[in-house]
Amino acid sequence: MDTIFIQDLVIRGKHGVSEEERAHEQEFILDISIDFDTQKAAESCELQDTIDYNFFRSTAHSVVRDSSFLLIETLADTVARKILENTRINYVSVTVKKTEMFDDCIPGVTVVRKKS
């Protein structure tokens, strides 16, 4: 199986446990990958035969900007579930990093979701 991905997608949003975190936009960095057989697309060179990674980008932007969650686990899970709404995707991995939380490290979470 092949992998289609985007890395280091920077989006600003209002997520966090404290009211202060949810009152002001913070930077989040997302990595999103799916398993997908790209052989047909490689042979046809047609976008319709693959999954356009702009779909990941627009989905993540929509969820991060238009929602406010206490936990980045919920944020990552929501992005993953929205991506799985595409009927051709059966597996997705979403990593969310919260870059402005600490001065000495970057916390984050990776969720992996599969269709049943």
**CATH code for position 28:** 3.30.1130.10
Quote the pLDDT of residue 72: 97
E strand or H helix at 72, and its extent?
helix 72-83
What pTM value is reported for the model? 0.95
How close are the terminal C-alpha atoms of the chain, in Å?
Answer: 18
Average pLDDT, integer, range 59-73: 97
Is residue 99 within 8 A of residue 27, CB to CB? The reply is: yes
What's the structural domain count of the chain? Answer: 1
Domain that holds residue 15: 2-114
Rounded to the nearest 5°, which phi and psi values hold at 80? -60, -45
Q: How far apart are CA 105 and CA 102, in angstroms?
A: 6
Q: Is the pLDDT of residue 116 over 90?
A: no
Quote the pLDDT of residue 49: 97
111 CB contacts (<8 Å, ≥6 apart)?
73, 76, 77, 80, 93, 94
Q: How far apart are CA 56 and CA 64, in angstroms?
A: 12
